[in-house]
Amino acid sequence: MKEQQSLKSLTKKQKEAIGLLSIGTFLEYFDLMLYVHMAFLLNELFFPKTDPNTAQLLSAFAFCSTFVFRPFGALIFGWLGDRISRKATVILTTAIMAFSCVFMANLPTYSQIGITASWLVTLCRILQGMSSVGEIVGAELYLTEITKPPIQYPVVSFVAIFSVIGTVAALAAASLFTAFGLNWRIAFWIGATVATIGVVARTTLRETPEFADAKLRLQAKYNSTRIKRKVLKADPLFNEKANKKTTLYLLLLNCAWPACFYFAYIHCGNILKSSFDYSSEAVIHHNFVISIIQLLGLLMISFLSYKIYPLKIIKTKLFIFTIGILFCPYLLNNINAPIYLFLIQSFIVLFAVDTVPAVAIFFKHFPIFKRFTYTSLIYAISRALMYIVTSFGIIYLTKYFGNYGLLFIMLPISMGCYLSINHFEYLERQAGNYPQK
């Protein structure tokens, strides 16, 4: 029987790593999501004033700029994480986030320097998006490699939980600053400060034993025969590649949450503004409550994963989500008050399919020396692809097909997730990890 690990058996170093990485992820996502959720307000400051349709396209462009270059960030930080160090990578990504926040806090607006402000804020968003992919995948991977099931499942999920807490905090800050008319730049200075604290705190981390031991074993193998380092890098273990089907199915699974996020927060936020005359400030307050509901749901499934096998949890969520999404267009066509839209948003954030709480299971099916690169690239491509598809696709699909146009995106996602879960269930059974009835 494979070794199991409980909460009580976690070492002091493991608990410290969990704390540092979770808090660091919170700080990073506070900075990243601060602009995303203040975009209704900040886009008016950094982009030219236009008609509503053009403004919606500019908003989609600003949103996508955060995610479209993430694959390049994944390649860079994935290479660093696999070839150099997991620890160094998570420190570097936090430092980049701190720098971009300082720059944004001092950035002149469109009224001061014209279109240059639009390009500079977009560049900042690109840097933040690139650093964030190395951050969350690096933190999840680090915790995967220092813990064992079943405590591994909720522990790795803490990274996602703290990213949502960072989002909630960003929305709370945005809500507070807009409610009291405070200078929005102060929020970004706060973000820069907390990111700097995260950089300093993470310097105390140690390299993950699984990654460090694998490198040492491989190095020792060749040191004993005095073979050159370039031969070491040609070793099959060092160059093992991930299974193509496994890579594709993890990509499909990762595509679900970005579409649901955009639908719940951005698309529904636009409905609040256009159909119920909500101000930008009111949309921020409304989405703040939605984010709390999302956090509570994530906490619940993460703690359930200690007792219930994570793939079973995801499969149950997928079934409920697919049934519910079929009724969403009809419901959206007949809502006459914001409370009904609030209920639809709550359903989406509670039952949207995500890799949580089975992240550690997915990671384990990728080779150790390619794990960071593959998983971060999959994560980045899924976000870049789906945020482009949803942000621009929803505009045109709902224009020509009404709210039923949403199904052109959501139903293929559900089908892809179903195939993906079945694939990983098969892999887990083959490995002897899937629980028997």
DSSP secondary structure string for all residues of 194-246: HHHHHHHHHTT----HHHHHHHHHHHHHHHTTT--HHHHHTSTTTT----HHH
In contact, 364 and 144? CB cutoff 8 Å? yes
- What is the residue extent of each domain of the chain? 12-207+240-431, 210-238
The pLDDT of residue 50 is above 70: no
Tell me if the domain spanning 12-207+240-431 has CATH number 1.20.1250.20. Answer: yes
Segment 254-270 mean pLDDT: 92
The pLDDT of residue 237 is above 60: no
Segment 65-78 mean pLDDT: 76
pLDDT band at 123, cuts 50/70/90? confident
Residue 101: enclosing H or E segment and its boundaries? helix 86-105
3-state secondary structure of 154: helix
**CB proximity list for 421: less than 8 A, separation 6 or greater:** 253, 311, 314, 315, 318
285-335, pLDDT tens digit by residue? 898 899 999 999 999 999 999 999 999 999 999 999 999 999 999 999 999
Segment 50-57 mean pLDDT: 64
Residue-level pLDDT at 205: 67
Residue-level pLDDT at 223: 55
Residue-level pLDDT at 102: 83
Residue-level pLDDT at 60: 67
Q: Whole-angstrom Cα distance, residue 411 to residue 293? A: 24
Question: What average pLDDT does the structure give for the chain?
Answer: 83
pTM of the model: 0.80
Segment 38-44 mean pLDDT: 73
